[in-house]
Structure 1
Amino acid sequence: MKLTIVLLALVGCVAAFSVPTSSKVKVADAAFLAKQKFLFEIVHRIEDPLMFEEYIKLGGNLIVNKSAYTEFDYYMEKFWEAYKVGALLPKGEFFGALVKTHHKQAWGLFNFFYYAKDFETFQHNVAWARINVNEGMFVYALTLAVIHKPEFEGITLPMIYEIFPQYFFNSKFVYAAEKFDYDVWSKYVMYEKEYKDIFYKDFTQYHNSPYFYTKDWKTWQWWKMMGLDEEFYVNDKFFLRENYAQFNKDPKYAEILKGVQAFYMPVDYTRDIDFFNSESKLSYFTEDLGWNAYWYYLNMDYAFFLDGKQFGLNKDRRGEWWIYNVQQILARYYQERLANGFGDIPEYFWYKQVEYGYDPQLIYYNGIGYSYRKNYFEYESYGKFDMLYQIQNFFDRIYNVLETGYYKTADGVVFDLHKPEAVKFIGNYLQGNVDTYDKYFFNYYYVLSHMYFADVDYYDYEVFPNVFLNFETMMRDPFFYTFYQKFTDVFYKFKYYLAPYTHQELVYEGINIKNVEVSKLVTYFDFVDFDATNLLNDKMTFVEGKYVWDKALLARQARLNHKPFNFEFNIVSDKVQKGVVRIFLGPKFDEFGRTIPLKYNSQNFVQIDSFVYPFVAGENSFKRSSKEFTWTAEDRITYTELYKYVMLASEGHYEFPLDISEPHNAFPDRLVLPRGWESGMPMQFYFFVSPYAEEYEQFSNFDYTYSSGVGSGTRFVDSKPFGYPFDRSVDEYSFFVPNGYFKDVKIYYHDTFAKYFEQKYANYGYFDYSVEY
């Protein structure tokens, strides 16, 4: 938890400098707390009927009086008509944000939320929708409204993996969590105690047997190293996360968790990866909750169907920002592939067999399992050739347009696509958003492509669950990275026609980076508790009308992390001036140990930080810590804890700071570095300083202590292209300038689990809270 919320974005292109810690943080008033409490309670146990009587009374009807809205549009009319004739997607059915029929209804529901003139109208509509609308559609529309409705600035919903754990945890855990019953669990512990006591008496004998102790282990099944089985355990210490010490120091923390019984179950990523295929070795990364949540919230912040002018998204260069994120995601994924001995992202697409299949082992909340793809799968076997040809035609058309160099729209407007500023057209086009420059040709292909790969036809209504139909699940599938390479291919084709930067364009006269020392880079797997209480199958208790939240259900998981690291800069400036320092991380060698030429390797660099520094004349020596990266977030405070804080504040016993939680769309700090090797994985940093001369100051249009600033136009450090100076083809002869500096480093992987193999674990059967990383 950072007590001052800052800007967020993917790998590094947003933040300018650390937010001043002395800034006064706003405290929630009674009206704010009432809204926050309502939102926390309305999504609680989303699969179950609404149990809060006050909201049931509010949700008797949808307000359709047009005077209650700032706008009453076509999609609202269609949504209301569909409801009246019983044509809405039924509750309990799978909702896909990228299913055309579902999307149109969700758009109408979102507008009922967004255009409400006051909170009373909004609250009535939300309560009505919670009772009457499909659960997935309801959460999707509500999330968009809370993010984009100006009067909700500072208000938050639980993270998407806390509202719908089914999208993020395998079916084995979901089934176990939904069957969890405290009384049965207590009996189980009592009945097993005598057996376990007998087992412990002869523990040494079993512990020394390699077969018994390791026969069923997978790579990251850490709980078996601690003698735990796949069942729930009482959490009698604290909610586990990397920054738990910050919470424990708060004197109110013990008070808010008083009376809460917490239980956790070990969860891993490995399941049956030994025999499915080798690509599944990367599941610890592709199925990481923070990794998938980042993509989800990026597409909520810049939803493809929201008008850029109306919602201020064009101020943030929405198309350019979206495709840059795609490029950075693929670059980060490639780094993780190299760390595991894999090479380039496979290029199968639609005309070849997809060698590596994928089984998500997810189950939707209606009990239906997600579709899986067998090894050596051919998408052409789906049929639907008209859809396939439309997608192929989309890519053929944009390649032809880029080769021609200009595009003439149906209404006669001509765009020159060989100029740098045309990146906004390319980005809008690739996202398929409503700001694309020719809606007649380009607006629909994005939804269509995801429908095709999920085997959904144009007008399908009730569809089988598929990871490709929702943003929060699609990055689990390795094929996501294969398909999205087609987007970056177009992006690189556009860049190909832009002249590389000349030496004169890149040099910053008067700035010379003498040296940058980098502390040791170490990655490891640590443990975290994710709040899965929404899965709890337990009676809800109310005392004097207040909900008693007395149980928390946690998924305890091992995940990739890194130790904090530092940069020590030594930069000489010939005068007093401000400069923007950008830091990139990229590979050094390919999977065969061959040096990757910078001309090609520039696509593999991930920007991990950027900030403004006030240089003095002469030598400038300063440090920059990974903890200062302003676009990243540490582990977020859980749903259970946030709700308890809000209730405590509502009773007047706590001042609720608006920045109590990490921002929803920040990139996970722990995923900045790839896994690395025990012997040290060769990588390289690139540091670049450019002039800072902007007409606006970052953060000027929003309060950075609790707002992410989406739509403000001042989220970013400057107006340079995202990824600058790697945003164009690299000419190595002109690229090496005094204000740029390459640094070779190694990333070391430390096996935190080794001690459980090598030594006797004295506290067998219990989680080791004393583990040191």
Structure 2
Amino acid sequence: MLSCLTKTSAMKLLCLLSLSFLLYLKPVSAGGIANRYYLEKQRFLLEILHHVHEPLLNDQWRSLGEHLVSDKSQYVVYNEQMTDFFETFAHGRLVPREVYYNPQYPEHYQQSLGLYYFFYHTRDWITLWQNICWARVHVNPGMFLQALSQVLLKREDYQALVMPKIYELWPEAFHNEVTVRSARNFNFANWIRQQDTFTSQPLEVQLILPQELQPIRLEGDLRSSPKWFEAMADVHILRLKEHQRGLHRLQHLIEDIGWQSYWYYINMGIAQTENSSQELQEWWYNQLGQLLARYKLERYGQQLSYKRLTLQALTPHLLTWLNQRFQLVTPSTTKKVTQALQNLETNVADAISTRRFMLSNGSNIDLAAADNWLLGLRELFPFDLTQLQLESANEPQLLLDLRTSLRSPEFYYYAERLLRSYRRYRQVLQPTPKTSFRPTELRIDSMDITPLITYDEPVDVDLSNLLHARHFHFDGHFMWPFTLQQRQFRLQHEPFSFSLQITSNKTQSIVLRSFLTTAESGSGAVNREPFYQLDSFLTVLYEGVNRITRDSRQISGLIGDHISLTELHQYVRLAEQEEFDFPLNISTPNCGFPRRLILPRGGQGQALRLRLLIVATVYDFKARQANELNCDFSKGVSRWDELPLGYPFERYLEAEDEALHLWGDHTFWQPVEINHVDRFRHE
């Protein structure tokens, strides 16, 4: 305590606060309920990320952020990247705050890596706390958010903290320009005066009751609890009118904030992962294949060409944090990406024809020997997007930003070319499994499935971080007096289930995989059709006739709706008053895919006809449960067996392979139909 008196005013405050926090000495939770040490951390995190694109207004955190901790003894490791970052800062060469940040630019990436290690390698919370405050004040906001997100994803002692979703922290990249400008121009005082003025025209922003927020069902039933009304009692819930735009036929998918953010999070989780493995590469390419297949199913359902994609232009209407517009892909970017793909295709063709490959260390290997084909696969197909380095950061482009990539039609064209080379390589060089994967003495006899129904569901999206920060600070205190929501409509589907009748001549364990594909797929055409994997699960068959039932809500890797940024803050505030038991974790995992998007939009009037493929494989008792749903890849990824992820579509199938993998008693093809119904009337 006495040592605090000899420090600067900022350090005195830090020391005094640390006596009350002692966060690094105390457990985070007990029995799944947050304690006060956790809540203090969580509140700090929400306040420091509040309006991250604007200058920090919180005087307490600004004073703690006067200096970056430079004492090397305060870090577990002080590496070269940290040294370079500190020197860059000392010489005034950090990326300016007003510059558009993108980690695919070399200078930006190197600086974000150094900042990440200044967070990650801290010995205790106090050091991390001060460094976060310093970076919030002095560092480009995009770089700050990137580094902090990485740390909270990868440091086990901080993974319990809830990081608000990227589309709530940075709404500009997820909502159209009209929405962003309307929210930024909102003036609460003027709005109050409008309430007292009679007008026959509906207001742009309306006050709504708490029970009007949609969807009412969140993970953990947090909106149906009486505590929710107590937590939100002092908050005015405002709703911004949705601006109807000319809708293109795929907007309901590629502009869905869950669809877009999924790609952002899985790449954030993989970045800076220690000891990136072959398995992680396989997982990344499987996710890319899943996204492409799902996109193609949507194109098929909209009666658009889907078998071989072409380059298409799309006019973006998105802003970055400084009212810069996201642009179409520039000619220089197109040239660089196209050249990279052409080089890859040439190298893959050479590797296939010669069965040889030169590694980056100069070794020339025989790809047919032992597991050398895996070494070639690893070097030919990098999966860290920072490998695609671009020379300058003059303007934001949809394709080159992880938050907006899936909005860009070019993304799917390039992904298709990349996956084509990836699967060709595996088709030729991947050995046949040494043990039989095809179960014997069973037959899938029949399948029943409940109706597949999609609909447009109303949902309110939290835009509070678009409002000016000054609205949330009064007399030097941080407050949350209102939240701005926008009513949108998104694709949703009814829960469904299917039931299989399987006859087995013995007791055995099998893995059942289900794939959704077009109605046109069949013998000799599978390589031209998308196969989207809905599910895989383990089941036990007993001798005789077995009835296996599976519900869509049982599918792993999928997530529902999460608590919003505003609600999270109000729950923390209520818990700090000891009026609410704050559960851990109160949010949904970041790397989960939205459950609502597993089915393409159904047909209205005429049903969308598809086919469902069921494939049974032998269970080899090598299942492993990991934590990739939370973007934690330190222990690998979950899997049922040693078959390649995405099997059997991780490679192209020759005629004999197709007969072996897709036809026989262990498979079943079922025609299905998806109907779209009007459940809610658009406002």
TM range (shorter): 0.7 to 0.9
Deviations along 1:93-112, whole A, 9 cap, x unmatched?
A: 21112122211111111111
Partner of 1:332: 294
Q: CA deviation at 1:732?
A: 3.5
1:447 aligns with 2:453: no
Q: CA deviation at 1:192?
A: 4.4
Query: Could you tell me which amino acid in structure 2 is paired with residue 320 of structure 1?
Result: E
Q: 2:104 aligns with which of 79, 98, 102?
A: 98
1:241 aligns with 2:215: yes
Aligned partner of residue 282 in structure 2, secondary structure: helix
Q: 1:363 aligns with which of 312, 316, 319?
A: 319
Partner of 2:225: 250
1:726 aligns with 2:682: no
Partner of 1:286: 254
User: RMSD in angstroms over aligned alpha carbons?
Assistant: 3.0
Whether the 8 Å CA contact 1:500–1:728 is kept in 2: the answer is no
Partner of 1:318: 280
Q: CA deviation at 1:544?
A: 10
Q: CA deviation at 1:552?
A: 0.7
Q: 1:25 to 1:320 in 2, by over 3 A?
A: farther
Partner of 2:614: 687
Aligned partner of residue 475 in structure 1, secondary structure: helix
Deviations along 1:138-179, whole A, 9 cap, x unmatched?
A: 111111111011212222210000000001001111110011
Partner of 2:182: 176
Structure 2 Cα separation of the partners of residues 382 and 680 of structure 1:
43
Structure 2 Cα separation of the partners of residues 103 and 751 of structure 1:
46
Query: Could you tell me which amino acid in structure 1 is paired with residue 600 of structure 2?
Result: P
Partner of 1:432: 382
Partner of 1:628: 554
Deviations along 1:498-543, whole A, 9 cap, x unmatched?
A: 5797999442023332222111001111111111111112535568
Query: Could you tell me which amino acid in structure 1 is paired with residue 543 of structure 2?
Result: A
Whether the 8 Å CA contact 1:317–1:424 is kept in 2: the answer is no
Structure 2 Cα separation of the partners of residues 79 and 187 of structure 1:
50
Q: CA deviation at 1:70?
A: 1.9
Aligned partner of residue 448 in structure 2, secondary structure: strand
Structure 2 Cα separation of the partners of residues 420 and 671 of structure 1:
41
Aligned partner of residue 241 in structure 2, secondary structure: strand
Structure 1 Cα separation of the partners of residues 241 and 35 of structure 2:
39
Structure 2 Cα separation of the partners of residues 343 and 388 of structure 1:
22
Query: Could you tell me which amino acid in structure 1 is paired with residue 348 of structure 2?
Result: I
Deviations along 1:696-720, whole A, 9 cap, x unmatched?
A: 5425xx6x9x956522235223332
Structure 2 Cα separation of the partners of residues 537 and 82 of structure 1:
31
Q: CA deviation at 1:570?
A: 2.1
Q: 2:45 aligns with which of 36, 39, 44?
A: 39
1:526 aligns with 2:457: yes
1:343 aligns with 2:305: yes
Q: 2:157 aligns with which of 140, 151, 156?
A: 151
Q: 1:541 to 1:745 in 2, by over 3 A?
A: closer
Q: 1:697 to 1:503 in 2, by over 3 A?
A: closer
Whether the 8 Å CA contact 1:514–1:571 is kept in 2: the answer is yes
Partner of 1:67: 73
Aligned partner of residue 488 in structure 2, secondary structure: strand
Q: CA deviation at 1:76?
A: 1.4
Aligned partner of residue 34 in structure 2, secondary structure: coil
Structure 1 Cα separation of the partners of residues 121 and 659 of structure 2:
55
Structure 2 Cα separation of the partners of residues 521 and 488 of structure 1:
30
Q: 1:26 to 1:470 in 2, by over 3 A?
A: same
Runs (5+) with no aligned partner, structure 2: 1-29
Partner of 2:123: 117
Q: 2:267 aligns with which of 299, 307, 316?
A: 299
Q: 1:513 aligns with which of 444, 464, 482?
A: 444
1:741-756 to 2 correspondences below 5 Å: 741-752=668-679
1:139 aligns with 2:145: yes
Structure 1 Cα separation of the partners of residues 214 and 578 of structure 2:
28
Q: 1:258 to 1:267 in 2, by over 3 A?
A: same
Query: Could you tell me which amino acid in structure 2 is paired with residue 447 of structure 1?
Result: L
Deviations along 1:566-597, whole A, 9 cap, x unmatched?
A: 112222333443322211111112xxxxx554
Whether the 8 Å CA contact 2:381–2:422 is kept in 1: the answer is no
1:334-483 to 2 correspondences below 5 Å: 334-344=296-306, 347-348=309-310, 354=311, 356-372=312-328, 382=332, 389=339, 392-417=342-367, 425=375, 428-429=378-379, 432-433=382-383, 446-448=387-389, 451=390, 458=391, 460=392, 462-483=393-414
Structure 2 Cα separation of the partners of residues 686 and 385 of structure 1:
39
Aligned partner of residue 322 in structure 1, secondary structure: helix
Q: 1:600 to 1:110 in 2, by over 3 A?
A: same
Deviations along 1:213-236, whole A, 9 cap, x unmatched?
A: xxxxxxxxxxxxxxx67x222221
Whether the 8 Å CA contact 2:285–2:383 is kept in 1: the answer is no
Q: CA deviation at 1:737?
A: 2.5
1:550-589 to 2 correspondences below 5 Å: 550-589=481-520
Q: 1:87 aligns with which of 93, 100, 121?
A: 93
Aligned partner of residue 94 in structure 2, secondary structure: coil
Query: Could you tell me which amino acid in structure 1 is paired with residue 347 of structure 2?
Result: R
Structure 2 Cα separation of the partners of residues 637 and 136 of structure 1:
23
Q: 1:472 to 1:390 in 2, by over 3 A?
A: closer
1:673-684 to 2 correspondences below 5 Å: 673-678=599-604, 679-684=606-611
Q: CA deviation at 1:41?
A: 1.5
Aligned partner of residue 582 in structure 1, secondary structure: strand
Whether the 8 Å CA contact 1:321–1:427 is kept in 2: the answer is no
Whether the 8 Å CA contact 1:602–1:726 is kept in 2: the answer is no
Whether the 8 Å CA contact 1:698–1:716 is kept in 2: the answer is yes
- Once structures 1 and 2 are overlaid, which stretch shifts more, 676-685 or 606-615? 606-615
Deviations along 1:608-648, whole A, 9 cap, x unmatched?
A: 11122233333332421111112111111111111212222
Q: 1:418 to 1:503 in 2, by over 3 A?
A: closer
Q: 1:388 to 1:669 in 2, by over 3 A?
A: closer
Query: Could you tell me which amino acid in structure 2 is paired with residue 33 of structure 1?
Result: L
Deviations along 1:247-268, whole A, 9 cap, x unmatched?
A: 3432211111111111122336
Q: CA deviation at 1:414?
A: 4.8
Q: 2:596 aligns with which of 670, 676, 681?
A: 670
Query: Could you tell me which amino acid in structure 2 is paired with residue 724 of structure 1?
Result: Y
Q: CA deviation at 1:385?
A: 6.8
Deviations along 1:400-441, whole A, 9 cap, x unmatched?
A: 22332232325454555458966755664465357xxxxxxx
Aligned partner of residue 267 in structure 1, secondary structure: coil
Aligned partner of residue 499 in structure 2, secondary structure: strand
Whether the 8 Å CA contact 1:47–1:135 is kept in 2: the answer is yes
1:261 aligns with 2:217: no
Aligned partner of residue 567 in structure 1, secondary structure: strand
Q: 1:346 to 1:708 in 2, by over 3 A?
A: closer
Q: 1:393 to 1:330 in 2, by over 3 A?
A: same
Query: Could you tell me which amino acid in structure 2 is paired with residue 631 of structure 1?
Result: G
1:652 aligns with 2:545: no
Deviations along 1:330-351, whole A, 9 cap, x unmatched?
A: 1111000011110126655xxx
Aligned partner of residue 306 in structure 2, secondary structure: coil
Query: Could you tell me which amino acid in structure 1 is paired with residue 233 of structure 2?
Result: K
Q: 1:621 to 1:240 in 2, by over 3 A?
A: same
* Structure ranking higher on relative contact order (CA contacts 8 Å, 6+ apart): 1
Aligned partner of residue 262 in structure 1, secondary structure: strand
Structure 2 Cα separation of the partners of residues 526 and 421 of structure 1:
49
Structure 2 Cα separation of the partners of residues 656 and 167 of structure 1:
30
What is the number of equivalent residue pairs in this alignment? 647
TM-score (structure 2 length as normaliser): 0.87
TM-score (structure 1 length as normaliser): 0.78
Structure 2 Cα separation of the partners of residues 43 and 423 of structure 1:
45
Structure 2 Cα separation of the partners of residues 45 and 419 of structure 1:
55
Structure 1 Cα separation of the partners of residues 431 and 670 of structure 2:
23
